[in-house]
Structure 1
């Protein structure tokens, strides 16, 4: 009921997660990322605790492969879970439990890993990885493009209703955390529209947090 990817920008070190599902509010449960550490997606009968666990393990010095191996060892009912990770060196790892739902599969390369369950076909994750690798520019643009490619390749077996994209970079909070928690229309396009609005303002929001004295204007009525 979900397809997602985790990725790292090799040029900037930014991490991101992009995800879509037939379930409501998928990004709120399944997207995890930490600046300077990595990104993790937890899905398929989700245990959200596995995301922070994997990030803590990578922050402690484990590679993505080592962290996922430890998640497999520690996780409860791990045979039901699907967990994707990318670390600070762009190494990737995926766990897909034997009890993952429907058609499930995964694909990975340097800097990107994708996976899904209850898919329309087994080519969806590879289509996302291929689209990511063929793209350039801002990580947010590349993630949206890869998510669109997954949908174009078939996406889920049924309609998707929620989606999200999270980006982290240098600071302790997500620099972008855009979600569509439920729609009867395309949630991926809803997130893409939000990204086009948010992207030009991303740096300004960071600067306002770091030092509002030198930040750009706030863009609200009465602000000079």
Structure 2
């Protein structure tokens, strides 16, 4: 039956992908959060834009990392097979059987139930290997030493926090062991919800790429923090739609605490305060944004016409700092 599914897809069996002349990817993790069901994949490499080919994830389906002499179709077809009901081990076995170049592939795969599979071809460049644990798999190739993937597994299992944080800790543990023998250049991290909502854009909690950076993991961690802040901003907006002012302001304050230098977060927090009658609290926040860039004043003037602030000249003058 699995063979029939493979043949029904634009598959490896029909047209084996050509083997690249050089390996382009290094260490990664695929994982599932047992409490939330969230699925994730994270990777770091000494290659430009690793996030464009290695990590694949779909809410309620699974996650895939395809690397070494990478064949991106392992990501697409792996998700297709898991969506069709195949467990990760069965899906990966079928893809490998259809790939005449599987000896140079390295793949980690996890499905929505937490079943995990991994493969390291015997021609992957040393140091190369993988380690499968409960609800995760770590895999690496072309490492400086063979302690990288065991360190990733240990770090992931010991880490606290949500799935994004735990995967980041695993990547950082790999780098602490020497990481890629070539160095570092790019990184990526994806986290999707365990159950699809039917709104793919809402199912992606994190979808971050660092395509070219001297310290990609440090930059990836900064982006994860920033994404958390924007997630809180979105929560605040939804709370306002429910007319839950207290929850909204709490979310906005949390976002500002995570990204204190972000003027846009401060600005929209202030606008929300104005709209719930807390003008005295809003004014100093707006003044902060004006000091960053006076054009925030011009934006503020345009909001009443869009229905985002009351049509009140006296209020506007007070918000702009022209009157008390």
| TM-score (normalizing by structure 2) | 0.63
* Kept after mapping to 2: 8 A contact 1:37/1:87: yes
- CA deviation after TM superposition for structure 1 residue 91, in Å: 1.6
The answer for the alignment partner of 2:210 in structure 1 is: 180
Instruction: Give unpaired runs (5+ residues) of structure 2.
Output: 1-24, 253-263, 269-295, 309-324
Structure holding more helix per residue: 2
Q: Does 1:13 align with 2:37?
A: yes
1:198 equivalenced with 2:227 (yes/no)? yes
How many Å separate the matches in 1 of 2:55 and 2:239? Answer: 28
Larger-gyration structure (1/2):
2
Partners of 1:14 and 1:167 within 8 A in 2: yes
Task: Report the CA distance between 1:205 and its aligned residue.
Answer: 4.3
Listed one character per residue, the Cα deviations across residues 110-149 of structure 1 (whole Å, up to 9, x for unaligned) are 1110101100111211111111111222111111111101
Q: How many angstroms apart in 1 are the aligned matches of 2:32 and 2:117?
A: 13
Match of 1:46 in 2: 70
Cα root mean square deviation, aligned: 2.4
Match of 1:3 in 2: 27
5 Å-filtered alignment, 1:1-224, equals: 1-169=25-193, 170-171=196-197, 172-173=200-201, 174-183=204-213, 185-202=214-231, 204-205=233-234, 213=241, 219=265, 222=300
Q: Is the 8 A contact 1:21 1:156 kept in 2?
A: yes
The structure-2 alpha-carbon separation of the partners of 1:102 and 1:204, relative to structure 1 and needing over 3 Å to count, comes to same
Answer whether contact 1:175 1:206 (CA < 8 A) is retained.
no
Higher relative contact order (CA 8 A, sep 6+): 1
Note the C-alpha offset of 1:96. 1.3
Unaligned runs of 5+ in 1: none
Select the structure that is richer in strand.
Answer: 1
Aligned residue pair count:
222
Q: How much does 1:202 deviate?
A: 2.2
| Partner Cα distance (1:212, 1:52) in 2 | 38
Alpha carbons of structure 1 residues 61 and 187: separation in structure 2 relative to 1, 3 Å: same
- Alignment partner of 1:101: what SS? coil
Report deviation, 1:214. 5.2
